Copies of this chain bind each other. A is one copy, B any other.
Amino acid sequence: MTNTTKNYLIERGIKPSLQRIAIMDYLLKNRTHPSADEIYQALCESIPTLSKTTVYNTLKLFAQQGAALSLEIDEKNIRYDGDTSIHAHFRCKSCGEIIDLPVDQVNMVDPKHLEGFVITEISAFYKGLCDKCNHEGSLMQNKSIN
């Protein structure tokens, strides 16, 4: 994985330091849309020289270079996604999980409204209750009725 990740970074114009490779590796292996803090917590034991600032700056660089997506879907933290292919995200307001959604129709906006614009990023966020929380909510409601 390390060599593949190293090449992945080089291809995107990112100098592949060991810390950068470890952070990118984590993002590619963990499709949970982690925050910078979660990544730091997961890696700080195996890389004692790692600082929170390095993790924050590295993720910012990854997003700038198109190596990862930065998701402003959570009010508290920016979340990161190693999957940069076109897809939408759903955040459950109950359990907080962020779920990937395949996109069938890339453009919600007629291109005529974007004449002269340069579009570098399109993101679609859905929020509500996931099927699990929705189901549990209905069960609880039924229990309180009976």
What is A's interface to B at a CB cutoff of 8 Å? Answer: 70, 72-75, 78, 88, 90, 93, 101-110, 113-131, 134-135
Contact = CB atoms under 8 A, between A and B. Distances in A.
A143 B125 CA distance: 40
Nearest to A133: B118
B108 A104 contact: yes
A124 B126 contact: no
Integer count of this chain's copies in the complex: 2
Contact of A130 (B117, B125, B126, B129): B117
Contacts of A122: 124-127
A108 B107 CA distance: 7
A68 to B, nearest CB: 14
Given A75-B78, A78-B75, A108-B106, A114 B127 contact: no
Nearest to A106: B108
Given A116-B134, A117-B130, A122-B125, A105 B102 contact: no
A138 to B, nearest CB: 10
Given A124-B123, A126-B122, A88 B109 contact: yes
A124 B101 contact: no
B114 A110 contact: no
Given A114-B126, A123-B124, 13 more contacts: A70-B75, A72-B73, A72-B74, A104-B109, A105-B105, A105-B107, A109-B126, A118-B129, A120-B127, A120-B128, A120-B129, A121-B126, A122-B125
